Each structure stands twice: as structure tokens, then as C-alpha cells.
Structure 1
């Protein structure tokens, strides 16, 4: 049986830490990003659409054509798109995941009374949608 692959329905590139974790904790050998035209579609969901079915169909068609049962799908983005993609993954025997992060915030009070906030996000693990 071939090693599972990780498909990215994700708005940005994986960090080195996220990639290493996928290879070690999930056992994936191959990580596949959306083609550029579909990446643009996933990352830019128009807020004025009443339904996302037509907008997301090319992304889901690609995933359905490329993925096989047992593969992982990292799904993060627009809430409605995520919901639809998670349902699609589960219906097709794929394992939908999201990345968890630890957040550290440092706030500095500036001389003029404003507050400057610096946020650092660090990958912790992948978690399955259940």
C-alpha cells in the first residue's frame, strides 16, 4: 500500500516545521498543493456569493481526481469553504486535517499611548476534523 499523501487546501505555503511534522507524524512522502488557478479560487472566496457550490466545484473536482482513500487533506480558509471541503473529504475516504498553533503575543505601550502588538504563531500539530 502506498504512503498517504497530503493535499493542501490552504491559503499559504507550509512552513518547514509544518512540512517536517507532516512527514514524521503523518508518514506522508508527497505534499501536493493546488494548481495556481485553483489556489487563487480557494484563497479568494467572494463574500457576496449566496452559495459556494459553483465556486468550489473545480477545487473539489481536482481533489476528487487526484486523491485516493487514506490520503490527508489540510483544509483551512473561508469557513463555508472549509465546511464543504471537510464534508467532501469525509465522503471520499480522505482524512481532513487542520494545523494547530501556539500564539505568543507581546504588547508594548508606545510613548503616545498607543499599544503595539507583536504576534508569533508556531506550529504545534495536525488535528483531524471530527
Structure 2
């Protein structure tokens, strides 16, 4: 995200230089460029502020990504958990891939499906959840201890 934000900032400066002779177009493009930079910062902030949460007291793993994914998986429904680095993901029924940078590091297989509600309200049942975690080994160990 930092690289993308930097590229947007360079593009803003370049467009300001190129459009300096056309004030109306310059103002419109500057507004859009600043909006894009704010949007990139907001995307990064939503990733940092809304991480995955393992709540042992409630017995659930909450998998989140931006505002698009917020899935609560009860610990008793987890059949197996493993660290598995995957770089490609095919769309399949019953599977949810929450990738970051086109990769996932943890795979959950569930005993019974959980309902995932998409950002626009569509419901689907998922039995396999793949997601990225910064400390995948630590999460797998913590899930193993929490399920016992």
C-alpha cells in the first residue's frame, strides 16, 4: 500500500506540472488525485485497524478484511487448521479466499458451513476458509490450543 500511495503521489505532482496551463482541468484532476491518495490511506488504515481476532472467551475466530469481509467462525466448527502458503486461488463453491497480495497463509476446514454475508448482502455458505495472517505459525498454534 505504501508503494501504491507513493505512485499516486508522484502522479499527482506530474499531473499538476502537465496541467498548469489549464486551471479548470488542473483543479478537477487535482481533486481526483487527492481523493485517490486519501482512499489509499483509508484502505491501509482499515487493514491495520480491523485485523483478524481470535476470541477464546467467546470461542470464535473473526476473519476480517477491510469492510468487505467480516466472518465469525466458531471454534467448535473448525475441523482442521494448517499453515499453507497459496499464491493462486480458483473460485469454488463453499470456499472463501481472503487473500492479501494474492496470497493466503492459513487454511481452515470446517465441520459444518458458516454463513458469509458479502459487502452487498449476498449470503453464501463456506466450508473452507483461506486467509492471510502476518504470524501464520503463531495463529495455527493458538487455534490448536484454543480448540483443545
TM-score interval for Structure 1 and Structure 2 normalised by the shorter chain: under 0.3
When normalised by structure 1's length, the TM-score is 0.23
Instruction: Return the TM-score normalized by structure 2.
Output: 0.21
Instruction: Pick 1 or 2: higher relative contact order, CA cutoff 8 A, min separation 6.
Output: 1
- Select the structure that is richer in helix: 2
Larger radius of gyration: 2
